[in-house]
Chains A and B, each alone.
Chain A
């Protein structure tokens, strides 16, 4: 079981990473949800041992390579978000999709706050309000994303 779930986990992470770095026109880019964060959240809630904090950390490290000003920035933010999700996974998992989406919104805001603070500390302050837009779109597509990931996971189970 672990091998299978690891494979699906890595595959979904890879797809999410590609969706995250694929070039988009600027107006769409602002709206683009943080797909990798959503994938990590999904696995942390639904398979906390296969995913977990280490998974979040390395996914964040990959994000840092692609778009971080400092290595470790996204890694820290994602590790924190994963930690919250893993701790609360039983409570979140039993909720309907709408309430899950609210949790995701909160998690994405926490994620962005961490990025915002680290950006400030490392001397790359970006105060544009546009950076917060993706938290909303991320929460909006959560039900769909979770359904897709559940379909992929459920077919095997």
Chain B
């Protein structure tokens, strides 16, 4: 082994330049790359190409798990499949009955709110995606999905499962997309407490089982068991999707803020399939268009500035139903449609019923993996 490097001797060493020189060169290069990647979108194309080249490795890495899953599914017994089939059928009937009155309720709700016609649901299109790779360390909580630009996936797209919010896409390659989970320490999602309408921000804690709500005053009306739904601020997630349930509330007399933790509703650590969602841009409950919000996503914390991201450059054409109110700094769906944002916990028609619909559309595909 020792002869391996020394055999060539001096002349070759002279040819490739001194290590100091090439180190300086590459150090400068990486600093430039970092600057460009951090400060702007100059490297989106480079990232796109690199992600495409990295995808085969990630596929190879995930193949043992995929093979095991396939094997397990294919050797399932007939009885087990039949049992599952009956269970799914019962569940589907249940969901159909539940959504039977949905149309009528949506229209009724629209009438009550004084809209001329009921709005269609805010979610326009769903795409199931397989999870190819998972990173669940305390520093980074990311997923890699097997859908990319060729499927129409874009940066900053919401990702759900049948129970709740999972995260949003951060880097999109041609055939793959990286998703930052809501529990990533760099992620924050603007939420609303469903019972009271109080808005706050849920920050990831680096652990798939909990979110932190660090910005609630000690006297805030919140208690264990409260449901948190997306508030529609922040420009990525539409209003009204379930996020988490409050698990513990600590009020310390000497601290001005309450310490609140919540458990995500989505099965962040056991899912093998998730849903990518496209929203109707002209719906009042829809998030701000991705072009407006995309600028700040790169740092992973666009949602940390719930005011700035959606309010600055809003193309007026995108939210036509809101023009009669003055240029509101926070165009939340409730403020656009009613004057009492806090006291109306009933969200828009599309938003409430969508989880049910989501469950219905995901159920047949996702259920076989959770017997």
Contacts and interface: CB of A to CB of B under 8 A. Distances in A.
Interface of A: 1, 5, 14, 17-18, 21-23, 26, 29-30, 46-50, 52-54, 56-57, 60-62, 65-67, 69-73, 75-76, 79-80, 82-83, 86-87, 89, 93, 118, 122-124, 126, 128, 130-131, 150, 153-154, 157
Contacts of B33: 61, 71-72, 75
Contacts of B22: 52-54
Contact of A47 (B5, B30, B34, B54): B5
Given A18-B61, A26-B138, A57-B29, A49 B1 contact: no
A21 B61 contact: yes
B299 interface: yes
Contacts of A62: 50, 54
Interface residues of B, number: 51
A66 B16 CA distance: 29
A79 B19 CA distance: 10
Interface string B1-39: 111110110001100100110110011011111100110
Contacts of B57: 14, 17-18, 21
Contacts, number: 135
Contacts of B3: 157
A65 to B, nearest CB: 4
Given A22-B61, A65-B47, A65-B50, A54 B26 contact: yes
Contacts of B137: 26, 29-30
A79 B23 contact: yes
A71 B60 contact: no
B225 to A, nearest CB: 27
Contacts of A150: 1
B195 interface: no
B195 to A, nearest CB: 33
A49 to B, nearest CB: 6
Contacts of A14: 57
B149 interface: no
Nearest to B65: A23
Contacts of B272: none
A23 B61 contact: yes
Given A21-B58, A47-B5, A75 B140 contact: no
A80 B26 CA distance: 9
Nearest to B141: A26
B51 interface: yes
Contacts of A86: 19
A153 B29 contact: no
Contacts of A123: 299, 301
B47 A71 contact: yes
B347 interface: no
10 contacts: A5-B4, A66-B58, A70-B34, A71-B34, A71-B37, A72-B31, A75-B29, A76-B30, A79-B23, A131-B139
Contacts of A122: 34, 38
A18 B62 CA distance: 10
B305 interface: no
Nearest to A73: B34
Contacts of B65: 23
A25 B32 CA distance: 35
A21 B60 CA distance: 10
Contacts of A80: 23, 27
A4 to B, nearest CB: 10
Interface in B228-281: none
A122 B35 CA distance: 9
- Which 7 A/B pairs are nearest by Cβ-Cβ distance? A72-B33, A72-B34, A83-B23, A76-B30, A72-B30, A71-B37, A75-B30
A76 B31 contact: yes
B136 to A, nearest CB: 6
A23 B54 contact: no
Contacts of A130: 138-139
Nearest to A128: B138
B300 A124 contact: yes
A124 B19 contact: no
A72 B186 contact: no
Give the most central of B138, B139, B206: most A CB within 10 Å: B139
B43 interface: yes
A157 B1 contact: yes
Interface in B33-82: 33-34, 37-38, 43, 46-47, 50-51, 53-54, 57-58, 60-62, 65
